[in-house]
Amino acid sequence: NDSIPQEDFTPEVYSMFLSNICSRPELDHIFSDVGAKSRPYLTVEQMTEFINSKQRDPRLNEILYPPLKPEQVQLLVDKYEPNSSLAQKGSLEACPSLSQ
């Protein structure tokens, strides 16, 4: 039988199912490189450093397009981190947040 009863298909089960069929090893690599080796989350400071050093185009004029500040990264965390307690602490959970 290849079906799951609807009452057993909770959001947690769905999330686990998705993470198993849609693994994102590149995200694991980013989190381990940036510093989340022992924790399953990144701090706002780590995320700010990653965005500014790895994601930002270095050819951009820094006056017209300044690097992001931690306050701006916190706004991104607030918007995209589904775990509100982590977002309030200024943290971004490893893969569930970014893989959605």
pLDDT 10s digits, 10-64: 888 887 887 777 777 777 777 777 776 666 778 889 889 999 999 999 999 999 9
| Superfamily of chain region 6-98 | EF-hand (1.10.238.10)
| Amino acid 95: pLDDT | 53
Q: What is the mean pLDDT of residues 74-87?
A: 82
Q: Could you write out the three-class secondary structure of 19-76?
A: HHHCCCHHHHHHHHHHCCCCCCEEEHHHHHHHHHHHHCCCCCCCCCCCCCCHHHHHHH
Chain position carrying tokens 């931690």: 70
**pLDDT score of 97 more than 50:** no
What is the reported pTM?
Answer: 0.64
Q: What does the domain layout of the chain look like in residue ranges?
A: 6-98
